[in-house]
Every structure is written in structure tokens, then in C-alpha cells.
Amino acid sequence: MTGRTVQESGCLQGSRSSVSAAAWWVSYYRGRWRQKRRKLTEGQNQQLNKKLLDHFRHLAASNQDTDQVDLQLLDRAISDGADPNASDRYGQTVLHEISRAWSVDVMQFFLDRGSDLLRPDQFGVTVLHVASALDYQGMIQFLLDRKADPEARTFLDQQTPLHYAAKNDAIGSIRLLLQAGASIGCTDYKHRTPLQLAANAAADGDSGGETGSHHESRLPQTDPGRMESLRQDWWRVLFVVLALLLTLEEVLREVRDILRSRKKLHLWQQLVKHRLQSDLSCSHPMWPQVGIRMMWTGTGSIRCFRCMLCLQEREFLLNQFKLVDRKRGSYCRDLWY
């Protein structure tokens, strides 16, 4: 009985270990399968988000009066997993594009499917900012009726939708925003009120009868990549400025050295010419024929020899004058500088 009991307990322990090992492998492969399925789902959702954004991107590039939003295509994409709040690299969602030129029905279509009306882009620009700048009064009233914030501020310049409407001379937008309770005395990062921005726009020659397309061209489109790179690479800008200053200092030093070298050469030439002129004034020019003829006389041989020496000395001094005139500075030809 005892041997049989030990044998049965050993079998039970072996079967339990086998079952636990099998359960561990099943759990492991199930986790791997879930992880792989999650990655596949995320990749599919990214493709659907891109499809959602590309639809409006293509419509904006076409810019035809006959263009229409394919609501069935967008509904299928959202049903398959596309995020109605998907954004591009600037943080702008489809609502930012809809608020430019599309109807309020398209805006309502996305709001019914979970789009966030108050979501700003990377610079704090909301949908109401865009519609206010373009003087899209129907869209502004639609957004205000759905609790859009008229006091929302951008991140960098701290401007409200009323600022955007004022600097783009959008009279209808200003009226609707003031009726909704927007503050006329709010200031931006330069302590400018909407009235001051409107005055600046009027001083620049802007008129109140501009069309929406012209307003759209004046809507600020700040490049975030440029601002971010400027914020991160300030030390490179400082390094370039210092390098330019050092280069300019070196160039100025070289110019000063060249001018100083030329001045020294000119003073040396004047000094040498003065000495040569003094030597030349002490020499007596004589005719060669006289010297040759008198050389054969008995008493004139010494005198003729002196005459020839004077002639050679004069020619030597004149040649020295020419050499001094042809002398040029060696500053630029000296490899040590």
C-alpha cells in the first residue's frame, strides 16, 4: 500500500508540473498574440487617421467650387477605428480645416462622432480662432452655441479669437464675439488690445470689404519646426555669431598690418632715395670721350681714371633709384603671416 501510494503521488506531481508548464506556454503565446494584434490594430488606426486627414488635405489642395466632403467615406473610416481627433504634425485636427470653409453640417457630423471642439493645435489656436479670423459668421455662431470658449488664448502671443478677428478686420466676427461676452479690454503678450490691433490693421491700409479668401491668406501660419529649432539651437546661433565676430576681428587686424607694412615701405623708400640723392649730388658727371682721350696723355691718366669712376658711380646710383621704385612689400607673399 505504501509503495502504491508513493507511486500515485509521484504521478500526480508529474502531471501537475506538466499542466502548469503547458498553462505557462499557453499564457505566453496568448500574450504575444495580443501584443502583436495590438500593434497591428495601432498600425491600421494610423492608416485610417491618415486617410481621414488626407481627404481634407486633398480637398484644400483642389480648391474647386464643386468639391464636396464624402461623409460616407469618413463615416466608414471612423467606424473602422479612425480617431475623429486625429491631428497632423502641427496639432491641427479636421475641425480646424472645417472651420475655414466647410458647412456647419460637416462640423456637426464630426461633433456627433466625438470630435473635441475645444482642442487647440500646438500653438493654442482653436477652431474659434480660425473662424473668427476668416469672418465665417455662420460657423462662429454655431461654435458659440456649442460652448466654444471666446476667451481661449494662444500659447505664444496670448491672443484671443477677438484679437484674431480685429487684426484681420473681421467686423462680423467682432460683433458676434462681443455679443457672446468676449472682453474688449483683453491684452496679448505685448499688452495690445483688440482695438489697437484693429488700428494697426487700418494703418496698414486694410479695408473692411475683403473677401474670405483674402482673409485666409492673411491667417497666420507659423511654422512650428522653425520656432522649435530656434528654441533648441540657440547655442548654435550664439556660436555662429561669435565665430563671425572673431573672423571680422582677424580681417581687420590683417588690414591694419597690411596698411602698416605699406607705410613702412613708403618711409623706407623715401629715406633711401634721400640718401641716394645726396650721394648723386656729390658725383660729377663727365663725358666718356673726354676721359678716354685724356687717358693717353702723360699727366692726365689719374684724372681720366677718376672720371670713369664718377661715371660708373652715377650709373650705379641711378640703378639704385630704379630698384627702390620697383620695391614692393612682401607682407602678402610671406608664408609666415
**What pLDDT, on a 0 to 100 scale, did the predictor assign at position 34?**
65
87 backbone dihedrals φ, ψ, rounded to 5°: -130, 160
Cell 509503495 locates to: 3
Half-sphere exposure of 225 (CA within 13 A, CB side): 2
59 backbone dihedrals φ, ψ, rounded to 5°: -65, -40
**What pLDDT, on a 0 to 100 scale, did the predictor assign at position 164?**
95
d(CA 266, CA 60): 72
Integer CA distances (angstroms), 299 to 200, 295, 310, in order: 108, 9, 19
**What pLDDT, on a 0 to 100 scale, did the predictor assign at position 249?**
92
The count of residues in the chain is: 337
Q: Which residues of the chain have pLDDT under 70?
A: 1-22, 24-26, 28-43, 205-232, 283-312, 330-337
Integer CA distances (angstroms), 336 to 29, 143, 149, 265, 331, in order: 75, 75, 71, 18, 9
**What pLDDT, on a 0 to 100 scale, did the predictor assign at position 143?**
95
Q: For 119-158, what is each residue's pLDDT tens digit?
A: 999 999 999 999 999 999 999 999 999 999 999 999 989 9
d(CA 158, CA 331): 59
**What pLDDT, on a 0 to 100 scale, did the predictor assign at position 144?**
95
CB 85, CB 50: distance < 8 Å? no
**What pLDDT, on a 0 to 100 scale, did the predictor assign at position 159?**
95
Half-sphere exposure of 143 (CA within 13 A, CB side): 32
Q: Is 72 left (phi over 0), alpha (psi -120 to 50) or beta?
A: alpha
CB 315, CB 309: distance < 8 Å? no
d(CA 161, CA 180): 12
**What pLDDT, on a 0 to 100 scale, did the predictor assign at position 205?**
61
pTM (global) more than 0.75: no
Integer CA distances (angstroms), 254 to 67, 109, 209, 265, in order: 66, 71, 60, 16
**What pLDDT, on a 0 to 100 scale, did the predictor assign at position 212?**
42
Half-sphere exposure of 19 (CA within 13 A, CB side): 6
Residue 24 cell numbers, joined: 505557462
d(CA 137, CA 210): 14
HEC profile of the chain: CHHHHHHHHHHHHHHHHHHHHHHHHHHHHHHHHHHHHHHHHHHHHHHHHHHHHHHHHHHHHHCCCCCCCCHHHHHHHHHCCCCCCCECCCCCEHHHHHHHHCCHHHHHHHHHCCCCCCCCCCCCCCHHHHHHHCCCHHHHHHHHHCCCCCCCCCCCCCCCHHHHHHHCCCHHHHHHHHHCCCCCCCCCCCCCCHHHHHHHHHHCCCCCCCCHHHHHHHCCCCCHHHHHHHHHCHHHHHHHHHHHHHHHHHHHHHHHHHHHHHHHHHHHHHHHHHHHHHHHHHCCCCCHHHHHHHCCCCCCHHHHHHHHHHHHHHHHHHHHHHHHHHCCCCCCCCCCC
Q: For 305-331, what is each residue's pLDDT tens digit?
A: 445 555 667 787 788 888 888 887 766
